[in-house]
Amino acid sequence: MSATAAESRVPSDQAGDRYAPAGIESRYRPPRATIDPDRSLSWLRRARPVVLAHKRTLLTALILSFTGLVLQVQIPKLLNDAVTNSLQRATVPLSHYVWLVLVLAVAAGIAAYVARLFLLRTAYAMEFDLRNIIYEHLTRMSFGFYDRVQSGQLISRANSDIRSVQMYLTFAPAILVQCAVALVAFGYMLSINVPLAFVAMSTTPLVYFSSVRMRKSIFPVSWLIQSRLADVATIVDENINGVRVVKSFVAEPREVRTLARAADRLKWAYVQDADIRARFTPTVQNLPQLGLALILLFGGYLVIHGHLQVGAILAFSAYITMLQPPFQLLGMLIMLGQRAKASAGRIYEILDEAPTVLDRPGAIDLASCEGDVSFESVDFDYADGPAILSDFSLHLTPGETVAMVGRTASGKTTVSRLLPRFYDVTGGAVKVDGRDVRDLTLASLREQIGVVLDEPFLFTASIRDNIAYGRPGADIAEVQAAARAAGAEEFILELPHGFDTVVGERGYTLSGGQRQRVAIARTLLVNPPILILDDATSAVDVQVEQGIHEGLRVLMEGRTTLIVAHRLSTIGLADRVVLLDGGRIVADGTHAELLATTPLYVEVLAQVEEAEHQAREEPTRR
């Protein structure tokens, strides 16, 4: 059990480890190249560094594919020679040609095999790089970005867009190579008979144009299919994630109808797609037969009048079937290009968005932290929205515990987000040990601050790995100690596998209070000098809360702690209480002082008390 939380979360499929890379420790390798940041370039030019990073395998694939195809092109010519020299004139033994054809076919086969292997390797390596480039970028993006984007859309879009860009970047050169070989074949045909070569090639423009027509009609429909697939996926996703809401409102029939409607629209698009394909495919596939008929007609005429050997007809018929696929693919290439361009646009849209909260050049590490925290005339709003905080000032001396109280939506959670720089202030400054947090490196700042959010998120992993998330190397004794301090050890030991019990997705197999205690243990294990607890005990009943408080009281000693508090009992943990209203601190003192001097404080507490009371009256609601 030495795997860290992150590693043990790599999903294992049915095949298990049998199909994992043998003997290779899977680890993160940074992408070899990134997208060119110059936005004025075309999408292809911007993608060039990623392609160039794989130029060796890609070039190998292309050269081998070219070689294989050129070898293949020899075969019809040999057929012509064989018929003429061995069958008609009997000057060369037939076995000579048979062997040559066999050797060529085997060599072409081997070249094609290796070429394909290298081409697909390049494709998947590029896909891997693109995925890492995007993911790395996403991890650097600030909270403001995630407030705006829809995560489900982001993930599915990234997947299909990466695929279509990757396809174009690798298959476009491969298709172009095939077309180049077609030219070589045309050269051979010219060397046999010039007029017949032109007659034979006369149908290829038709092949090209009908394939373009087909792709043109299919293209909009395939977009429709993509977006309708996404619609269906979104409905399914919301129904699974929101199953508790759906069921409690007995909305299953309505949801099933919604899904059926979306599925029906998807089916319609699929049928359209099938219809277009059914109409065009026979045309595209049968055009070569038309070419064959022309060859037979014109070539036959030439043979009858003694201008051409019979073998040439054989060779031409082989060439004509060999030449169709490149032209069909060429038609496809144009559509692939359009799709890849649109996909690349969406990928670049993400990559071009710079994170707003960044290390300043010359930012220093916060090495040893005293725990002196001050908010100095802080102004803040979310993305140019209304002002949430204005002229907010608060000072916490090292080791002090301050409870922050305020009406709902008064900005308490917002204050706690500014200290670890989840967002940057719009005015004033937040300082730790007298240093502006924007002058410190993000990593060193966040290492010193433990945050327990009101909605704790757990990973699908064992409780032990969840608690050790911030310190993957922690041994079991430390994990147990943290769990004990958070009042979580007791219930964990009652679980079927104790600390090794895997909690369901987002920890839903635990109760809200249990989840919170695991989250508190997770933060305590990191042992940060500054602690932020946002309503961290709201979902915990009063008795359990006392247990946690005992643990917290010990742990808060010597630690600067900011608690967003609703309950009197939580306020009791604090040395000092501040009241937040209208974006600033309106009262500051001990609980008793505030009770005596500030009517608003009494009012806010009374409201909370009432809400709690109601919750107790209706226990089934909770």
Ligand X SMILES: Nc1ncnc2c1ncn2[C@@H]1O[C@H](COP(=O)(O)OP(=O)(O)OP(=O)(O)O)[C@@H](O)[C@H]1O
Contacting positions for Mg ion (CB under 5 A): 413
Q: How far is the CB of 385 from ligand X (least distance, A)?
A: 6
Tell me how far, at minimum, the Cβ of 40 lies from ligand X, in Å. Answer: 33
Place of tokens 């997947």: 159
- Of 24-32, 156-164, 176-184, 382-390: span binding ligand X (CB under 6 A): 382-390
Closest residue to bound Mg ion by CB: 413
Q: How far is the CB of 237 from ligand X (least distance, A)?
A: 22
Q: Is residue 538 a contact point for ligand X (CB under 6 A)?
A: no
| Residue of 472, 458, 463 whose CA lies nearest to 508 | 458
Q: Which of 415, 342, 405, 371 is nearest to 569 (CA)?
A: 405
Contacts of 585 (CB under 8 A, 6+ apart): 392, 393, 394, 578, 579
Identify which of residues 415 and 492 has a Cβ nearer to Mg ion in the complex: 415
Which span sits near ligand X by CB under 6 A: 68-76, 356-364, 380-388, 597-605?
Answer: 380-388
Query: CB of 114 within 8 A of CB of 64?
Result: yes
409 binds, among Mg ion, ligand X, none (CB under 5 to 8 A by kind): ligand X
- Partner whose binding site includes residue 361, from ligand X, Mg ion, none (CB under 5 to 8 Å by kind): none
Asked if 361 interacts with ligand X (CB under 6 A), we say: no
Between 35 and 594, CB nearer to ligand X: 594
Rounded-to-integer distance, Cα 511 and Cα 126, Å: 43
Q: Is 455 in the site for ligand X (CB under 6 A)?
A: no
For 585, the 3-state DSSP assignment is strand
Q: What are the residues facing 26 on neighbouring strands?
A: none
Q: Is 408 in the site for ligand X (CB under 6 A)?
A: yes
Q: Which of 385, 434, 496, 599 binds ligand X (CB under 6 A)?
A: 385
Nearer to ligand X, 410 or 560 (CB): 410
Q: Which does 275 bind (CB under 5 to 8 A by kind): Mg ion, ligand X, none?
A: none
The nearest distance, CB 539 to ligand X, in angstroms, is: 13
Could you say which of 317, 414, 448, 560 contacts ligand X (CB under 6 A)?
414
CB of 416 to Mg ion, least distance (A): 8
CA distances, 407 to each of 395, 411, 606 (Å): 21, 9, 11
**Is residue 268 within the footprint of ligand X (CB under 6 A)?**
no
CB of 407 to ligand X, least distance (A): 7
Q: Are 439 and 364 in contact (CB under 8 A)?
A: yes
Please, what is the minimum distance in Å from the beta carbon of residue 562 to Mg ion?
A: 13
365 binds ligand X per the rule CB under 6 A: no
607 in contact with ligand X (CB under 6 A): no
387 beta partners: 381
DSSP lists the bridge partners of residue 151 as none
Residues composing the chain:
622
Cβ distance to ligand X smaller for residue 414 or 561: 414
Q: Is 412 in the site for ligand X (CB under 6 A)?
A: yes
Is residue 390 a contact point for ligand X (CB under 6 A)? no
Look up tokens 């992993």; give the residue.
461
Indicate the residue among 410 and 466 with the shorter CB distance to ligand X: 410
Q: Closer CB to ligand X, residue 125 or residue 565? A: 565
CB of 454 to ligand X, least distance (A): 6
CB 196, CB 189: distance < 8 Å: yes
For residue 454 the two structure tokens come to 């009101």
Tokens coding 244 = 């508790």
Q: How far is the CB of 564 from ligand X (least distance, A)?
A: 6
Residue 388 interacts, among ligand X, Mg ion, none and using kind-specific CB cut-offs from 5 to 8 Å, with ligand X
Instruction: Figure out which of the listed residues 223, 382, 491, 508 binds ligand X, where binding follows CB under 6 A.
Output: 382
Rounded distance between C-alpha atoms, residue 47 and residue 406, angstroms: 51
Work out whether 147 is an interface residue with ligand X (CB under 6 A).
yes
Distances (CA, A) of 52 to 64, 126, 354, 491: 18, 10, 24, 55
Pairwise CA distance, residues 35 & 352, whole Å: 10
- Residue 487 as a binder of ligand X (CB under 6 A): the answer is no
Using CB under 6 A, pick the residue from 291, 299, 326, 411 that binds ligand X.
411
| Identity of the residue, 96 or 407, whose beta carbon is nearer to ligand X in the bound complex | 407
Residue 21: contacted member of Mg ion, ligand X, none (CB under 5 to 8 Å, by partner type): none
Q: How far apart are CA 311 and CA 295, in angstroms?
A: 12
Q: Which residues pair with 532 in a beta bridge?
A: 451, 562
Compute the least distance from the CB of residue 417 to Mg ion, in Å: 10
Residue 16 gets the label, from left (phi > 0), alpha (psi -120 to 50) or beta, of left
Q: Could you tell me the smallest distance in angstroms from the CB atom of residue 524 to ligand X? A: 22
Here the tokens at position 567 are 């309950």
Structure tokens at 435: 């240093």
431 binds, among Mg ion, ligand X, none (CB under 5 to 8 A by kind): none
Using CA atoms, how far apart are residues 258 and 96, in angstroms rounded to an integer? Answer: 69
406 binds ligand X (CB under 6 A): yes
Q: Considering CB distances under 5 to 8 angstroms, the limit depending on partner class, which of ligand X, Mg ion, none binds residue 619? A: none
**Residue 176 burial (10 A CB sphere; 0-12, 13-18, 19+):** middle
Rounded to a whole number of angstroms, the minimum distance from the CB of residue 572 to ligand X is: 19
Distance of CA 346 to the CA centre of its chain: 13
| Residues near ligand X (CB under 6 A), total | 12
Sequence-distant (6+) residues with CB within 8 A of 538 are 454, 516, 566, 567
Nearest CA-CA partner of 583 in 339, 409, 322, 454? 409
Of the candidate spans 92-100, 246-254, 404-412, 544-552, the one that interacts with ligand X by CB under 6 A turns out to be 404-412
**DSSP helix/strand/coil, 408:** coil
**What span, in angstroms and rounded, lies between the C-alpha atoms of 575 and 597?**
17
Q: Which is nearer to Mg ion, 413 or 509 (CB)?
A: 413
CA-closest candidate to residue 334, choices 496, 444, 177, 175: 175
Applying CB under 6 A, the residues found at the interface with ligand X are: 147, 382, 385, 388, 406, 408-414
